[in-house]
A and B are shown apart, each in its own frame.
Chain A
């Protein structure tokens, strides 16, 4: 009975210390103007800047555009090989690498059996981000619509996975090619039109809905790691950490306080980013899933752990910050959080998967869509496992006593 009471009072005292430490860290942070300003302003700048870039589009990498040409052109018994479909493909860079590079496209012919599977399922199974389908009899329909104004418009179909933030840019490229072809070949703009299709559950979502989670995770990783690394190395330099260690506060309580503060910051950053995305770019608030809080907490845990590990190996603040930057920046650009990972060469895409940010961003994005939700558990599981492992290692190896 006495022992039970003692354990209860120990737990209560631990909570008191942890919350006391966290609240003081928060107060100190609030009173530090630059930290407050940059932590709040950073995600807003990021979302505005990259939101604009994405809406403006454009970079030098090639997008792998899969296409399936089902069209044949037959007059009587005669098949024609030079068809409007082949003209369209040539205009998209088929067998013309100079043009393909100008358009940022790399055409890849694919085939799936439409009687056995749908385009969307086939794309999902084969990790195809965008697919252009020229339907059977398209050239004939086009011919008819040229001669008969009441005939239906000749459509081609563009299927895309909106979780790839580049999908709208590819659509825009195809659109431009089609418009040019309409005018140059037929002198009229609207003979050929593109019809876009996504899986039903993805309707209404656009690139910003997938970009917001990336920015949240990038901010958590950047401000979390840099903030904690500089705190630990500075407190070691000034001796504050050793003064703290001479109090009853235990090392695990100190680590947990740091994590708690990082998680709180992560949640504030997430709210700010979501609100900015909503106000400036119409981010779909319905895509927010409760499980995102788990990704945020374990994401914060991962970067807090990594920060403690880095601070253990690199003692001086300046050097520690340089090493942190060397980790944070490649991760930011390679993990698919800001630029679509599929834009990268295949070996770089493999490298992207070594960064924790990749799995966190993927987990967050998977949660936003019913159609990709089945992928959540793997990415979230990896995120949770990384969070626990890195945080435990970081907490254990942190020097709490002088050698």
Chain B
């Protein structure tokens, strides 16, 4: 194992809860300084894996090295806790203490800690320092959580679903903070079920489903590999025209009649063909869009399931 190059190395990691196999023999490596996204639906085994790596959950079998430390060895795990930061999925801190008091508390748990004012600036909570934790909004709570995960100036930060339940604005603000971490050279292990989040932030994505890693790669690699062709979406105003478009575009390949849209899968460069066909036949369409596949399509292609319900996707975007 090359501990210089990799922040995390996992070999055949297994976690069972009785008969339930939560993590099924997974192996992967995470390079130092990158944002690694663990993408999968709820119950896929993301949090279980993260908690094992953080040393707060016991594994059933396999090996895991975090920043070169073997998490099975108590001494190494103890020294690991000094150099990692964690933001749990269900993050909570002392609710009656203010932002500043909470940061002061967590900083006392470490031998060396960053300046509290610096952390407050970093997560843009300057005007909330005297606000009690319980009075903060969901987004501000998460930002405080991120600041707390950074008090010891960690080399590696685990962020478990850092934007779940946040409104779009708060989500984007959190993304900015995470991007700042990357600029500082930190390694970030991010779990999420928002494909857009993984696509925007991650250098590398592992898709996990039912405890198994289906594939790992950069978002582009995964999309190219599994996302399929670009989608061309044609919109029009009447059912009659829609039927005409459907019949004409069928020549380019299978077309889908989705609500008011006709969706056709075409190889790159297919857009001009579609436009030519519609123009030649004088079809009065209202709009035509070429859409690249997303990680959602990758997930659908790999598992046959949608990653997230449409309502949640709308919130995310």
What number of B residues sit within 8 Å (CB to CB) of A?
A: 30
A298 close to B (CB within 8 Å)? no
Residue of A31, A248, A403 near B58 (CB, 8 A) is A403
Known: A401-B55, A403-B58. A248 touches B101 (CB 8 A): no
Residue of B86, B92, B105, B108 near A246 (CB, 8 A) is B86
Contact A27 B101 (CB under 8 A): yes
Chain A, residues 51-86, CB within 8 Å of chain B (1/0): the string is 000000000000000000000000000000000000
Contact A248 B97 (CB under 8 A): no
Known: A248-B81, A248-B111. A243 touches B86 (CB 8 A): yes
Contact B97 A31 (CB under 8 A): yes
Residue of B88, B97, B132 near A24 (CB, 8 A) is B97
Instruction: Give the CA-CA distance A32 to B84 in the complex, in Å.
Output: 31
- Closest-by-CB residue of A relative to B92 is A238
A110 close to B (CB within 8 Å)? no
B175 close to A (CB within 8 Å)? no
Contact A32 B105 (CB under 8 A): no
Which positions 257-296 of chain B face chain A at CB distance < 8 Å?
Answer: none
Instruction: Give the CA-CA distance A243 to B57 in the complex, in Å.
Output: 12
A5 close to B (CB within 8 Å)? no
Which positions 4-29 of chain A face chain B at CB distance < 8 Å?
Answer: 13, 16-17, 20-21, 24, 27-28
B94 close to A (CB within 8 Å)? yes
Instruction: Give the CA-CA distance A250 to B55 in the complex, in Å.
Output: 12
A282 close to B (CB within 8 Å)? no
Contact A247 B55 (CB under 8 A): no
Which positions 28-51 of chain A face chain B at CB distance < 8 Å?
Answer: 28, 31-32
Residue of B91, B92, B96 near A28 (CB, 8 A) is B96
Residues on the A chain within 8 Å of B152, using CB: 247
Residue of A24, A239, A242 near B94 (CB, 8 A) is A24
Residues on the B chain within 8 Å of A239, using CB: 88-92
Known: A24-B94, A27-B101. A247 touches B88 (CB 8 A): no
Instruction: Give the Cβ gap from B161 to chain A, nearest Cβ, in Å.
Output: 12
Chain B, residues 43-84, CB within 8 Å of chain A (1/0): the string is 000000001001111100000000000000000001001101
A240 close to B (CB within 8 Å)? yes
B110 close to A (CB within 8 Å)? yes
Instruction: Give the CA-CA distance A20 to B96 in the complex, in Å.
Output: 16
Contact B92 A17 (CB under 8 A): no
Residue of A32, A240, A244, A247 near B110 (CB, 8 A) is A247
Contact B93 A247 (CB under 8 A): no
Residues on the A chain within 8 Å of B84, using CB: 246
Instruction: Give the CA-CA distance A249 to B105 in the complex, in Å.
Output: 12
Contact B96 A16 (CB under 8 A): no
Chain B interface mostly: loop
A3 close to B (CB within 8 Å)? no
Instruction: Give the CA-CA distance A403 to B90 in the complex, in Å.
Output: 17
Contact A13 B111 (CB under 8 A): yes
Instruction: Give the CA-CA distance A180 to B57 in the complex, in Å.
Output: 76
A286 close to B (CB within 8 Å)? no
- Closest-by-CB residue of A relative to B148 is A243
Instruction: Give the CA-CA distance A21 to B78 in the complex, in Å.
Output: 18
Contact A245 B56 (CB under 8 A): yes
Residues on the A chain within 8 Å of B56, using CB: 242, 245-246, 401-402
Instruction: Give the CA-CA distance A402 to B106 in the complex, in Å.
Output: 21
Contact B58 A401 (CB under 8 A): yes
Contact B57 A247 (CB under 8 A): no
Contact A20 B109 (CB under 8 A): yes
Residue of B51, B93, B108 near A240 (CB, 8 A) is B93
Residue of A17, A28, A242, A245 near B108 (CB, 8 A) is A17
Contact B88 A28 (CB under 8 A): no
- Closest-by-CB residue of A relative to B55 is A246
Contact A248 B108 (CB under 8 A): no
Instruction: Give the CA-CA distance A299 to B55 in the complex, in Å.
Output: 34
Instruction: Give the CA-CA distance A16 to B105 in the complex, in Å.
Output: 11
Contact A243 B88 (CB under 8 A): yes
Residue of A13, A27, A402 near B57 (CB, 8 A) is A402
Instruction: Give the CA-CA distance A240 to B51 in the complex, in Å.
Output: 14
Residues on the A chain within 8 Å of B101, using CB: 24, 27
If A27-B97, A244-B109 are given as contacts, then 10 extra A-B residue pairs at C-beta distance below 8 Å, sorted by A number, are A13-B111, A17-B109, A20-B109, A21-B105, A31-B96, A31-B132, A242-B51, A243-B93, A245-B55, A246-B86
14 A–B contacts, CB within 8 A, in A order:
A21-B108, A24-B94, A24-B108, A28-B94, A28-B97, A31-B132, A238-B90, A240-B92, A242-B88, A243-B86, A246-B56, A401-B56, A402-B51, A402-B57
The 4 closest A-B pairs by CB, nearest first: A20-B108, A247-B109, A238-B92, A31-B96
